[in-house]
Amino acid sequence: MNNLAIEGGKPVRSNKNFLVFGAPKIEEAEIEEVVDSMRCSWIGTGPKVERFEKDFAVYKGIKHAIALNSCTAALHLSMFAAGIGKGDEVITTPMTFCATINSIIHCGATPVLADCDKKTMNISPKEIEKKITAKTKAVLPVHFAGRCCDMNSIMDIARAYDLMVIEDCAHAIESEYHGVKAGLFGDIGCFSFYVTKNIITGEGGMVITKDNRMAERIKTMGLHGMSKNAWKRFSDKGYKHYQVIHAGYKYNMMDIQAAMGIHQLKRVDKYWKHREGIWNKYNDSFKDLFCEIPEKPAPETKHAYHLYTLLINIEKLKKERDWFLDALTAENIGVGVHYTPVHLHPFYKKNYGWEKGDFPNAEWIGERTISLPLSAALCDKDTDDVICAVHKILKK
């Protein structure tokens, strides 16, 4: 007799105790800092954003960190700053969030996909090389789940073909590869502080670069194309006129957001340690079930442990992955899918001629993958419940 909640059995957690996927941990210091911004009536872009940028630059050990209102904005402006536009091609992975692809499209360029590796789920350098044409301008690697891409090979290719490298580090704030931090390999690195990410500002993003000219372009384009930002304009140092030098965007981060980021960043390592513990506990617990567990991080790398993904053995279970999503949800445990490969979404199929079968590894993952709750907000009881529910559903 089966006691799965999806078949009417008692769920592992009660309905009112539903474990939300990707819930952030928010502590008193950021609550007070947000309130302080509101009380002093400076909630827009100002001193807290400047401080968050400085702190982030120090954390990464880089000259420029520019805070924006999302990683999507960061990716978009990075393309622009890198001089990518109409007629150019940018190579990226199908195993990513749509924002990665949209940022390429928004700057007028054409996204070109290179399949990922089945084990690491990261873009395959061999596949990148196959997709290079005379139009290729840049490679956009995504450090999937917080596991660094094969950056030695990718940088070798970039040097050989004179390509820009823009890293999508939305999962990878803490990631390192052979002693180098994610975002520092290529020309530009983009980060996300969206609510489900490793540290959060609600909505928010950051661009890092060592290039003075690109940093200046990103700053200008992120605020209407104005050559001076609003805070400097209205500071007590006297009125400063601004000049519009581009048709820019409204992508600036607010002090209310930076107020959260400043305190979250102080705990980045503490939160990472907590997620590492959960990730390892999951990996030890799911060895003998109808699923594949993620590979251990490669030597000389630091995994950011943003996602914990299981690959369901749909052949042995004789059930589709979505059955597992429903079954875990019925146990009152939130779950995610990272990702349905981007080339299977209707817009891209229609406009780029991509079809099922084009990227077999990404599709293989896309049919089997599920992401379990992994966040600094989880307590031992939460993770025990997740383990208990997964065992109920996937036991042999």
Ligand X SMILES: *Cc1c(COP(=O)(O)O)cnc(C)c1O
Q: How far is the CB of 97 from ligand X (least distance, A)?
A: 4
In this structure, what is the dihedral angle of CA atoms 121, 125, 127, 128, given to the nearest 10 degrees? 110
Applying CB under 6 A, which of residues 171, 217, 219, 263 lies at the interface with ligand X?
171
Q: How far is the CB of 199 from ligand X (least distance, A)?
A: 12
Length of the chain: 396
Q: Output the six-digit token pair for 4.
A: 């799965």
User: Which candidate in 197, 219, 302, 392 is catalytic?
Assistant: 197
| Binding of residue 198 to ligand X (CB under 6 A) | no
Site string for ligand X, 131-170 (x = CB under 6 A): -----------x-------------------------x-x
**Contact indicator for 354, 110 with CB cutoff of 8 Å:** no
Residues 178-197, interacting with ligand X (CB under 6 A): 192, 194
| Binding of residue 336 to ligand X (CB under 6 A) | no
In terms of CB distance, is 192 or 332 closer to ligand X?
Answer: 192
Can 237 be counted among the known catalytic residues?
no
Q: Is 26 exposed, middle or buried (0-12, 13-18, 19+ CB in 10 A)?
A: middle
- Work out the end-to-end distance of the chain between its first and last CA atoms, rounded to an integer number of angstroms: 14
Sequence letter at residue 371: S
Q: How far is the CB of 172 from ligand X (least distance, A)?
A: 9
Q: Output the six-digit token pair for 294.
A: 């993620």
In terms of CB distance, is 37 or 78 closer to ligand X?
Answer: 78
- 11 backbone dihedrals φ, ψ, rounded to 5°: -70, 155
Q: Is 195 exposed, middle or buried (0-12, 13-18, 19+ CB in 10 A)?
A: middle
Helix (H) or strand (E) holding 278: helix 268-285
| Binding of residue 78 to ligand X (CB under 6 A) | no
Residues 213-252, interacting with ligand X (CB under 6 A): none
Range in contact with ligand X (rule: CB under 6 A) among 24-32, 66-74, 109-117, 343-351 = 66-74
Q: Kindly list the strands in the beta sheet with 308-312, ordered across the sheet, starting from the edge strand earlier in the chain.
A: 291-292, 308-312, 369-372
Applying CB under 6 A, which of residues 99, 107, 327, 370 lies at the interface with ligand X?
99
Q: Output the six-digit token pair for 338.
A: 């990272």
Range in contact with ligand X (rule: CB under 6 A) among 43-51, 97-105, 267-275, 376-384 = 97-105
Indicate the angle between helix axes 71-81 and 98-106, nearest 10 degrees. 40
Q: How far is the CB of 151 from ligand X (least distance, A)?
A: 16
Catalytic residues: 197
Q: Which residues bind ligand X (CB under 6 A)?
A: 70-72, 96-97, 99-100, 142, 168, 170-171, 192, 194, 205
